Structure formats: structure tokens, C-alpha cells
Amino acid sequence: MEITEDLVRDLLRDQYPDLADLELREVIGGWGNQMWRLGDQLAVRMPRQPGAALLQEVEYRWLPTLADRLPLPVPRPVRRGAPSERFPNHWLITQWVPGEPADREFITADESGTTLAAFLRALHQPAPDGVPASYRTGPLQLSHIDHFSESIAPGDDVREIWADAVAAPAWDGAPVVVHTDLHPANIVVADGRLAGVIDFEDLGSGDPAIDISAAWVLLPDGAAKRFFEAYPVDDATFRRARGHAAIKAMFVLAMAVNGERGLRGGKPTWRAAGELALERVVGRSTR
């Protein structure tokens, strides 16, 4: 559905009049949610696709608790909008995480590997009862690599990395809390430093390899080695994580191609980030 500034302003006046006069600016991007910056410290997240409101419920329930232990800023929910005649779903007001997404400003700082490792070690704790199992961390299948054939064809090197990940032993530890969607648009950068993590709507529990893949997808050359020194993993987890990284790099490139073709949901600004991620995951093991 179309979500306009007037609609958001009216909802604020109806439900949170103390915030209704703050400056409201649309933030371009996102799939399931349309985001508006509210003043200097807040953001409004409006679900605009089927299922997005249900995903927001998980974020609203768990992120305030998790945020207290995380060493980087995250969009902690501060208020929740109720369904109404004007808008049929719940919606969120969250804290604003300052900086630029990593598809527009790359991470360059040498310490970024240890920064990401500290964040993921704090996040990857045994999942409390009630955190939903993430479908993204389920058993890996060879056929998953074929999903990209319509937009961009995986090379033999990518297929080999994915096949090795599929052949690796599955995660046999307790399910941990995972973000699951650490691609460049969900990471915030300030002055080349990793400055925040956003978009927790796919938060769940499962295999940490899905998040560890960010060592290839997000970090600059040399930083992945520091990551694995600060977050050591066994060989099987390393192989699964590298496979996820290959898939994520292909995903970022596919979204770039779709954007260049003018397709809905495409991200033309993602090409550089996708090419760099693919080069890192194919060109070196980081170990």
C-alpha cells in the first residue's frame, strides 16, 4: 500500500501527539517496511508488504532485551502504533541509528573485524524460549544456488564453495540468536567504521554461520583475519559460513542487476558492494 507523509503524520497525531510536530523525512530503501526519520533521534517503520507486520512483532518483542547486551547501536523500539481505520497494521517507532548504509559508504577501518566479532559474540547467545527458529539457518541444499540463474549466473568457483558448505557437518550446538540478514544495506558506517546494525525483522534462532558470513560480505581486505582471531570457529562452521557468504554476495549482485534493469525492488547502487564481496569470498579463504 502507498504510505505517504500525510498518512504517517496523521497516525502520529492520533496516537502519539507529543511526537507529531517533529520533522518527518522519508528514508529511501527497504522491502517489507517503509521508514521515515522522525526528528533527529527516532524513526517510524511502516510495514508495506504482506507478512512485514508479523515480522515486526518479533523485533518489537526481542530487540529491546537484546539491545542491552550488544556493543553497537541498534534500532531499539520505543513505541508501537496500533492498527486503525487509516492503517490496518501495527507499526513501530524506533531509535535512529546514525550513519550511512554500507552499500553507500564502505567499511574501511582496520579494527572493523574485531568490532564485528564482538557484536556477533554478544548476539550469538543461546536463544531464549520464544525466539522463532529461522528458516534461513536450516539444512543447506545444493538447489539453493540455482535461484540466481534468472538474474545472474553463479560461476564454477561459487558453486564449488556452496557444494563444500552443503557437504559440511550441520550445526549441532544449541540454537543461538541470529540476525540472519547482514548485507550491506543493513549495516551502518560512520567515517569508515562499523557504527551500527539495523533491520532485525528476520531475527531468529539457529546456526551462527549465517551471520559469520558477514566476515566476507562486509569487511575490507585484511579485516576478516582479525574477525576469526576474535571469533574462532570450527572447520564445519567456517565452511558453512563461507557458503552463506557466496550466496549473499550473489544476492547483492542480483539486486544490483535487477536495479540496473529497472525492475521493482532492484538496488542499482549495490553493484560495487556485491562485486567486492564476491571477490573476497572467491579469492581467498581468509584463514
Residue 45 corresponds to which cell in the numbers above? 517503520
In contact, 198 and 77? CB cutoff 8 Å: no
| 119 and 210 in a common domain | yes
Total domains in the fold of the chain:
2
Residue 35 lies in a domain: yes
37: buried, middle or exposed (CB in 10 Å: 19+, 13-18, 0-12)? middle
- Tell me the CATH number at 212: 3.90.1200
Residue 166 lies in a domain: yes
| 184 and 148 in a common domain | yes
Q: What span, in angstroms and rounded, lies between the C-alpha atoms of 52 and 61?
A: 14
| 124 and 83 in a common domain | no
The parent domain of residue 14 ranges over: 5-96
pTM above 0.85, yes or no: yes
State phi, psi for 47 to the nearest 5 degrees. Answer: -65, 130
| 153 and 62 in a common domain | no
| 249 and 172 in a common domain | yes
Last residue of a domain, one of 96, 111, 127: 96
Last residue of a domain, one of 73, 96, 119: 96
| 73 and 200 in a common domain | no
| 244 and 158 in a common domain | yes
| 163 and 123 in a common domain | yes
The tens place of each residue's pLDDT in the chain, 287 residues long, gives 689 999 999 999 999 999 999 999 999 877 788 999 999 999 999 998 778 888 899 999 999 999 999 999 999 999 999 999 999 999 999 999 999 999 889 999 989 999 999 999 999 999 999 999 998 888 888 888 887 766 677 889 999 999 999 999 999 999 999 999 999 999 999 999 999 999 998 999 999 999 999 999 999 988 999 999 999 999 999 999 999 999 999 999 988 888 888 887 788 888 999 999 999 999 855 45
* Residue 183 Rama label (left phi>0; alpha psi -120 to 50; beta): beta
